Every structure is written in structure tokens, then in C-alpha cells.
Amino acid sequence: MDATVKAMVQKLYAHQIEGVMFHTLVSNTYAMLGDYKKMVKKHNAQALEELKNHLCFSDYINCKHKEAIQPSATAKPTILAKEVTERPISKLERDLTHKNLMMSWEKWEEEAEALYDEALKLMPDCEMIKKLKIEVEKEIKNVISMLNKWK
């Protein structure tokens, strides 16, 4: 495998793993807020979907290229400008935290879309990346729709 392609695959792997971490952090934050049970379930499901996509993509790459590739270094995703460590007392503060989480989610998905675009320039025939890009485009529309309803 070409070194540039390998570096991109490692970057994609890292982003997918960070996606599992991101959605888990968001789910935990919603659980702490207490008012958003549907969002807890949504982000738990999203974390599982990220993990499934990562496993399928890594299997695809490893089988196609006959090479076990490790992700590049991952970092704990930042979900809020100010980390929430305890439940805000007022409903207004909890709603503001919810809005910040939604905006962070939209930003996260947009970063994923940009990464898939970058990957498709290097691997234009990779059907798996095309599929992941379509999924992230749907997710962005979903998040924007939920944000618009909330406003």
C-alpha cells in the first residue's frame, strides 16, 4: 500500500475510534443532564454504529491490502468549550448544554465528511468510503433538522 494512502487510512481509523469516544461522551453528558433520554439512546446507538463502521472498514482494508494497519494516535474528543462535570441546576442551563452538544455533533459530522472527501481523492474507487460519506451526509441532515426543531 502506498505510504500516502496508508497514512490516510490510519487517519480514518483514528477518527472512527474518536467517533465512538465522542458519542459515548455525549451520551454520558445527556444522561447526567437527566432531561434527554432519547438523546442518550441516540448517541449510544451512534457510538455502536461508529464501532461497526470502523470494524467493517478495517476488515475491508486489511483483506484488500493484506496488511494490518494501526490507527494514527487518537485523542479524547472535546465536546464542549467548557466541560460539564455536574448537572446544571436550571432548565435553562441544561437546555444551553443541549444546544452546545447538538452544535458539537454537527461540527463532528462535518469534520468526518471533510475527511471522507479527502480520502476519496486518494482512493476514488473505494466503495466503503463512498458508503461512509453517504451515511455522514445523512447524519448531518438529521442533526441540522433536530437543531432547527429545537430552535
- 62-99 residue pLDDT tens: 888 888 888 887 666 666 656 677 777 788 888 888 88
- Interval 99-142: pLDDT, tens: 888 888 999 999 999 999 999 999 999 999 999 999 999 999 99
pLDDT of 94 reads 85
| Residues 130-138: contacts with CB under 8 Å, at least 24 apart | 132/53, 132/57, 135/53, 136/109, 136/112, 137/113
For residue 47, pLDDT over 80 is answered with: yes
- The band of 151, judged by pLDDT with boundaries at 50, 70 and 90, is low
Predicted model pTM: 0.87
pLDDT of 121 reads 96
Question: How would you class 116 by CB atoms within 10 Å of its CB: exposed for 0-12, middle for 13-18, buried for 19 or more?
Answer: buried
